[in-house]
Structures are given as C-alpha cells and as structure tokens.
Amino acid sequence: HHTPTLPIPMKGHACSSKVRNLVFSFIVAVVVVSSSSTSRSVFSFSFGDVRKRLPKKGFRTFLKNTAAITNDAVVAKESSGDVWEMLQIKLQSVVAGADDDAENVRESVLTFYRDTNGWCPFCERVWICIRAKNLSYDETLVPLRNKPDWYKQMVPTGQVPAILFHKWDGGNDENTRKLVWESRDVMKALDDAFPDTVQLVYDTEEYNVAIEQNERLLKAGFDFLSLDGQDEGEDAEKVKGEKRDAFISSLNEIDQSLQKSGGPFRLGSKFTGVDAEMIPMLERWRYQLPLKDTPLNILEGRPYLQKWFEAVGITKFL
C-alpha cells in the first residue's frame, strides 16, 4: 500500500535552468557585498545547498564560475572600476553557458520530491543513491511548513522524500508511473527500477545488522543533542554526561565495525545504502559538534571513521 502504481500529474516546480540562473544571481549578490562598499540587498545561501540543487557537471561549473567572478570583482575593486556593472556582464556570460549545458541534459527518469532547505537527512540519503546510480532526474521542492494540498493528497504521510518513477517496469505507457515514499522504501525501489545500475540495498544479515547499528547511533546522537538548552543543575549535568557517554560509545562501535569490515566503507570495499544513510548524520556531527560549548570531535581516536570520511570524500558521484 506504500507504493501505488497510477498516473499522477506533475505538479510543483522542477529544477531547471531557471534555478541555476537564480543560483548565479545569488553569487553576484554575495560577491558584491564582499567587493563593493555600496550597500545592496543580498540573499544568503550555502554551498552545500547549491551542491544538492545542481547536477554533478553543474556544480563543478558553479565552483569554477564562482572563483572566476570573485577574482574579477577583486580586480575591478582594486582598479576602482564599476564592480556591479562588471558582475552584470559576467553573469550574462555565465547564464549563457549554463543554458548551453542544459541542451545536453538527458531525459529525466524520475521526479524527486524533497525539502526546500536541502537539510532533511532522509532526503539526502535518497539523493546520494540517485547520484550513485547516475540517474537523470527532475526535482520538486516541498516546504516542510504549510505543505501544499496537492502533495498531501499525493503522499498519504505528507512527508518527504518521495520519488515518482516516470515509467515503471519498462512500460511503454507514459502514464504508467509509480510513486514511492519513505526513504528506505525509495532506496529499494531505485534498485528494483534500475537493475543495471549499482545496487545499494541488500537483504542480508550483514546489511541489516549495519542498518540497526546506524539506528542506534542516530538515536544516541539525537538524545545527546536534544539536551542543548535544558535546565542546568546536578541532575541535568549527570543526564548530559550519560547521554554523551552513550553517544561516544556508539561512535566507537561504528569505528570498530569499520575496522572489522576491512573498510573503507561500512561493509567493506563497496559503497552501499548503509553508507548513504551514514553520510547525512556523520557529516553534520563532524562539523557542528566542535562548535558546541563543550566541543566534541567525532574523528578523534577513531582512525577507521577518518578513513571512511576520506573514502566518501573522493567518491566521484558525491
């Protein structure tokens, strides 16, 4: 009942060249603030969010053009030129190049419904699987607050992520589509729908044990972080200490399992759905926890977790 097969109209807004043009507009605004003394309104954005929005080639182009625009802005400022005019000219050429790239985009095989802020860990694990399979897809953003009625009618839980397969089981009928929600159901459906791509989800004891370990780590991390801002006192400090110890114990368990598997990934040499689930939570903790009042470095004393991060960092599809 979670995966009905039925014709579903496309709604919302899919990721397109317009989105990329808007991203480049954001770049211009940010560069202007850092390069010109003239006050202008800007939008804030994160590179992580942009990375999630753009295809692999588009993100690399984004980085290259960002560096080029920033460099030109600095040069223009030093020469007392009109920074804003120069950036407008540069933006036109960047957008033109992005539109040229768009002509070579493959036909999308699915639509990915995800959160607008690009921060949902369950959406991120699905996005990682899509990238691992090198699938061409459309993207529709769904606000977590005030979800549109059409989405709540389409997805009974009202939650993200969800995937709409444009053609299920190789059918010739364009209206034969399949909608799947719940991140793990989506990950399995991606394997089933595209058997010629890398398979990520396995029905083995080893895989299931690793998923259960992920669940324990996620719970321990949530329990630890949920104590932030709570009342202080002897009892509160005791609880915090216990939650911190439980979290550290779970991190140690992951490190030991990576050592036992031979690494660099959780189940050995191959990237799997277990790793796709680990990335969203571990990458956040790696960079957020050192900034807490009581800093915590999840890599300290965990060499195999460090190697896992290194392996993930050089994985081509991420």
* Cα angle 290-30-93, degrees, rounded to a multiple of 5: 130
For the chain, percent of residues with pLDDT exceeding 90: 53
Angle between helices 234-261 and 303-313 (to 10 degrees): 70
Asked if the model's pLDDT at residue 296 lies above 50, the reply is: yes
Going by DSSP bridges, is the β-strand pair 178-181/137-142 parallel, antiparallel, or unpaired? unpaired
β 137-142/162-165 pair status: unpaired
Contact indicator for 289, 297 with CB cutoff of 8 Å: yes
40 confidence band (pLDDT: 50, 70, 90): very low
- pLDDT confidence of residue 105: 66
pLDDT digits (tens, 9 = 90+) for 150-178: 999 999 999 999 999 998 875 555 568 99
In 3D, which of 138, 255, 125, 257 has the Cα closest to residue 201? 125
Q: For the chain, what is the mean pLDDT?
A: 78
Q: pLDDT tens digits, residue range 59-97?
A: 555 555 555 555 555 455 445 556 667 666 767 766 666
* Residue 73: per-residue pLDDT: 52
pLDDT 10s digits, 92-144: 766 666 555 555 667 899 999 999 988 899 999 999 999 999 999 999 999 98
Q: Specify the pLDDT at position 128.
A: 96
Q: Which pLDDT score, from 0 to 100, does residue 239 have?
A: 87
Pick the more confident residue, 44 or 289: 289
Residue of 171, 216, 199 whose CA lies nearest to 267:
199
Helix (H) or strand (E) holding 121: helix 121-132
CB atoms within 10 A of CB 276: 25
What pLDDT shows up at residue 2?
44
- pLDDT value of position 72: 55
> 147: exposed, middle or buried (C-beta count within 10 Å: 0-12, 13-18, 19+)?
middle
pTM (predicted TM-score)? 0.69
Backbone dihedral angles phi then psi of residue 169, each to the nearest 5 degrees: 60, 35
